[in-house]
Amino acid sequence: MATNLRVFLLILFVAIFAKADDLPNGWEGAIKPEHVRPHVEFLASRDLAGRSGANSAKAADYLAKQFRDCKLQPLFADGSFDQPIPTSAEVDSSDESPRIVGRNVGAWLEGSDPKLRNELIVIGVHFDHLGTRGGKVFRGADDNASGTAMMLEVARQLAVAKQRPKRSIVFVGFDLEEQLLWGSRWFVAHPPFELDRVKLFITADMIGRSLGDLPLPTIFVMGSEHAPRMKLLLDDVGSPRGLEVARLGIDLIGVRSDYGPFWNEKIPFLFFSTGEHPDYHTPRDVPEKLDFDKIARVSSLVLKLVEATANADGAPEWTDEVQPNIDEVKAIHRITDLLLQAGEKKPLTDLQRLIVTQAQNKCQQILDRGTFTADDRKWLIRISQLLLLSVF
């Protein structure tokens, strides 16, 4: 028994190792695990008690301090890093000072090009979480200390770079995402600049685990179908060694994070996530379970993509017309492959295996045929939703 296990582990190790070496355009990322880990460990510490209410303010203080240390400029009125957020409940009109329930934290880096610096790329991530419930601390390490660490390290790298990006870069930590995206909705309704200056919004929510807790090297990137230039830039940039980008349409999941209010305004956006897992929104979402290599790789990818977008001749533009793109079929086919491989280590249920196999066969048919129709895409959306639901 023990020998079999050892042989099995050896085969698995060889398979994983060979795979990592085979990856196309795998480059060395600038952001390392030791850069992102301290942010996650602080934000998801027991002391911060799940970053809600007064404890969310401690996280906000931490972000402001990081921005100040990087010598970034305050984003809001009167040289402040803070944007107070009033209650979303109906306030009595006689009440002249509505209750403040949270705050967004923001900073910016002015672009180097005299013309292009008027255009903005916004990286915004939520830093709040669910607090303490029934005596249990919901530490929110993946959701979303992971994305917050990414934003802070991208900000630091850009702030110290010898060559500033041509366009200006804005960094925002959103509060109250866990309360119907109230922080980002308030920000978009009360922006510190004209919204039409925003050429791209990037957010990341949960980038330190893996879909269904299966060992996948995957980062899902959604939204590029509404901004053709971002598809090209994603292709150009490639991915750091050990990370695979799966580009999917945002309609597969709908509004799940802070890109919602930007989507409403038809601002090009990208959403980065490694997907849901069984510890999602439980007290088990703790730093010990995170893959810090993965967070560092995703952070390095966002950094390169932001630099490429900020320095490109033209800015991303929104399109409503989403063409069926066969790359999406390739991405889902690859995910089914990975799920079936990972299933050898952590068995899938019969139903999961059936759905995954069906999805794979259909993707293979489409790829063999080489044409991807609107009807195919409708089917693909249904099966992917089923796939994602059954794996979560």
Q: Closest separation between CB of residue 143 and Zn ion, Å?
A: 4
Q: Are 211 and 244 in contact (CB under 8 A)?
A: no
> Helix, strand or coil for residue 210?
coil
Q: Which is nearer to Zn ion, 29 or 50 (CB)?
A: 50
Give the dihedral sign, CA 164/167/168/174: negative
Residues that bind Zn ion (CB under 5 A): 143
Residue placing its CB nearer to Zn ion in the complex, 137 or 306: 137
Minimum gap (Å) between residue 39 Cβ and Zn ion: 17
Helix extents (H) in 278-373: 292-311, 326-345, 350-369
CB-nearer residue toward Zn ion: 82 or 143: 143
Is the CB of 143 or the CB of 244 nearer to Zn ion? Answer: 143
Residue closer to Zn ion (CB basis): 128 or 328: 128
Q: What is the DSSP string of 167-194?
A: SEEEEEEES-TTTTTHHHHHHHHS-SS-
Pairing of strands 73-74, 100-109: antiparallel
Please state, in angstroms and rounded to a whole number, the distance separating the CA atoms of residues 34 and 26: 20
For the bound state, the minimum distance from the C-beta of residue 186 to Zn ion, rounded and expressed in Å, comes to: 18
Cis, peptide link before residue 144, omega less than 30° from 0: yes
The structure tokens 């900073």 sit at 107
Measured from the CB of residue 142, what is the shortest distance to Zn ion in angstroms?
9
Shortest distance, CB of residue 151 to Zn ion, whole angstroms? 16
187/372 with CB nearer Zn ion: 187
Alpha carbon distance 260, 277 (integer Å) = 22
- For residues 373 and 324, is the Cβ–Cβ distance under 8 A? yes
Nearer to Zn ion, 128 or 376 (CB): 128
The CB-nearest residue to Zn ion is 143
Smallest separation (angstroms) from Zn ion to the CB of 22: 34
Shortest reach from residue 125's CB to Zn ion, in Å: 12
